[in-house]
A and B are shown apart, each in its own frame.
Chain A
Amino acid sequence: MAIPLYYSFRNLWTRRLTTALTIAGMALVVFVFAAILMLAEGLQKTLVETGSYDNVVIIRKASKSEVQSGIERGHASIIEVQPETALGPDSRRLIAKEIVVLINLPKRGSDKPSHVVIRGISEVSMKIRPQIKIAEGRFPKPGSSEIMAGQSVAKRFKGGGLGEILRFGMRDWTVVGIFDAGNTGFSSEIWGDAEQLMQAFRRPVYSSVILKLRDSLEFDNLKQRLESDPRLTVDVLRETKYYEEQSEMMAKFLRILGLSLTIIFSLGAVIGAMITMYAAVANRVGEIGTLRALGFQRRSILTAFLAESLLLGFIGGCAGLFFASFLQLFTVSTMNFQTFSELAFSFSLTFEILYQSMAFGLIMGFVGGVLPAFRASRMNIVEALRAS
């Protein structure tokens, strides 16, 4: 016969202080565990959403990122005529020759400078990236000193807001629009006319050529042809792959940090649970003896104590997740080591993280409770009854 769950619950309730402290410890561990997973997920989500599978990024061979890359005008025109490129509604090729540089901008509030990506775009740049919409103002006029800023830049950097003026490359640039790029890396960028920016920065080369594929399956053909073209020295990547590689180092860093922290933290919390459960067993030797004398089996005792410690883990997990879910309101902005540019992303809670964290809490409860529960179930009836 099983001992009712209510027994385990009441036991926890009786030692409220101890229970609360153990749960607090576990909740903190689950909180940290969930927070790190949410951060890594947020980073990944931002970068995955930034790229589109059907878009192809062409950069100079081995340059790894658009900022370090350079593609001569002549080379860009060779790439421009590839037959795999999709056509727009006005039957113009969906191919954008872009220039990407970093500029130093002071942040609002702290005034600390940080690197912001400024991207010179062509007219089709918006068509290739349908996830980007103008939120306020208008699209900058081609051939003018007008720019538009991503929402994240507009919010966090001085001079990024609508109607404000930024000075760089010996010119004043007016922000005439704010664009909404959702949760993508483009939110942390400023866009302007490519030709104008090339003039201002005295940099007569493009950084990258981006094109939309006519048929997704033709990627390998295109890659093979361009990379083996003796006139060109380029790397051809799918946009999704490109952005994934941009964050590899950062993601790896978060993973290592997260994993080692979680292991260390959970050791602490498991020890806490173990102490609590051993004490719960030690305090109740007489009670256990009585239960055994009443006819409850060893297995029932084992289950009851395990249930008690799993309950600790469960409540701890719920509390930790409850507080972690508030993290979704925060946005983290930091420099990506690989690109040296500022990137904003937010904590993101998914169902997977939800049940991973819950499972983690329960496992901590289980590991902490299993030894004490065994001790309780292995007690000799007569000795246990005598102990009190």
Chain B
Amino acid sequence: MFIIKLIFKNAFRHKLRTFLTILGMTIAILAFGLLRTVVDAWYAGVAASSASRLVTRNAISLVFSLPISYKEKIRQVEGVKLVSAGSWFGGIYIDEKNFFANFAVEPKPYLELYPELRLSPEHYQAFVRDRKSAIAGKKLIDKYGWKIGDIITLKGTIFPGNWDFVLRGVYKGRDKGTDETMFLFHWDYLNETMKKTVPRRADQTGFFMTGIRHPELASEVSVAIDKLFKNSLAETLTETEKAFQLGFISMTEAIITAIQLVSFVIIIIIMAVVANTMAMTTRERMGEYAVLKSMGFGGRHIAGLIFGESLVITSIGCALGIIAVFPVADIFSTALSTYFPIFNITKVTIYMDIGASIVVGVVAASFPTYRSVRIRIADGLRRIG
């Protein structure tokens, strides 16, 4: 008990310095936590994907479409439960800055494939019944202040023209990991309009979302689907939703690696700051350590004092940083909702914060400890300042 009291007394002997070091530590833990959350946000799509959903798209690349006639053929494949056509619409709401994901889908099968998108029965009925209708996530509706019944106009980038949709429903996510910023509307609306305006592009879809009976069937079913369309004009590439999302992420790997590196750099910076504080503290107390030694305390005691002090400083900073990260992440998630629809702090991030603070505390204390433990009593007593 006594030793803990001594460590605390020691830590706060130099109030200003300790305060500054704790402040630095708080900022570092805050930044570290935020950066890890940014990386998590990047992988949010992967975390939210289901093992029993497959994505089939044109093998050349995503910009090429598939004939809608493939749908029935895919449905006949052994193990397939249901199929929905879908297209990335890429519409712009008023200005390019207001980016959100908008897809043309087949409401019934698509919403059955995605049970995590929760819609009230009235909204569901209204959406299914009206071909010009659309639904949107809760976050998106709150952001733009839409109300049910509003007419929303999107400017098409891939499909030319201005497109009007009637908002018929709001979906909520089943859990925090569900993207609540999507905008979904009828694939039929898109297709019928294309038949009139650009017949060449009618009866084509961007991808097929396939639900399978068991997740274990994923590889068999994917191979079977791709085999069906081998050597056709539009060869397909089928993979699990997870693999599909990961493929996207691997293209921006460089950025993720950079963010991860930077998050470690900040830990190294704070390590230098805390080590500096500890080096100064021990230098000032060389005389005291010599006194302790001459009284018979061993090197282990002195080491314990220094490590304890260092850990006290880093843990206080860490605790404050963790407390601060939640409100700051909230601000971030509103400011960056265009880039990251999902921005949640995970438990792992908190554990990593704690781990980082312990590592910083230990590393920062080791070199000063080494010097203090080794000092000879006479040298220590002789030393001034």
A residues with CB within 8 A of B: 17-18, 21-22, 24-25, 28-29, 31-32, 60-65, 67-68, 101-104, 110, 112-115, 168-170, 201-202, 204, 233, 249, 253, 256-257, 261, 264-265, 267-269, 271-272, 274-276, 278-279, 283, 332-335, 337, 340, 342
Contacts and interface: CB of A to CB of B under 8 A. Distances in A.
Contacts of B275: 21
A115 B27 contact: no
Interface of B: 16-17, 20-21, 23-24, 27-28, 30-31, 59-64, 90, 92, 96, 99, 155-158, 160, 200, 231, 233, 235, 237, 247-248, 250-255, 258-259, 262, 265-266, 268-270, 272-273, 275-277, 279-280, 284, 336, 339, 367, 385
B280 A63 contact: no
Pick the most buried of B96, B99, B157: most chain A CB atoms within 10 A of its CB: B157
B62 A102 contact: yes
A275 B31 CA distance: 20
A101 B63 contact: yes
Given A60-B160, A274-B20, A268 B63 contact: no
Q: Is the interface of B mostly helix, strand, loop or mixed?
A: helix
Contact of A261 (B16, B262, B339, B385): B262
A64 B253 CA distance: 25
Contacts, number: 146
B17 A278 contact: yes
Most chain B beta carbons < 10 A, residue from A32, A103, A275, A342: A275
Contact of A275 (B20, B336, B367): B20
B65 to A, nearest CB: 10
B25 to A, nearest CB: 9
A114 B23 contact: no
A234 B69 CA distance: 32
B254 A28 contact: no
16 contacts: A17-B279, A28-B268, A31-B265, A63-B160, A68-B157, A101-B63, A102-B61, A112-B250, A264-B266, A268-B27, A268-B270, A275-B21, A276-B280, A279-B280, A283-B284, A340-B62
Contact of A18 (B20, B30, B276): B276
A112 to B, nearest CB: 5
B251 A114 contact: yes
A257 B263 CA distance: 12
A283 B272 contact: no
B339 A253 contact: yes
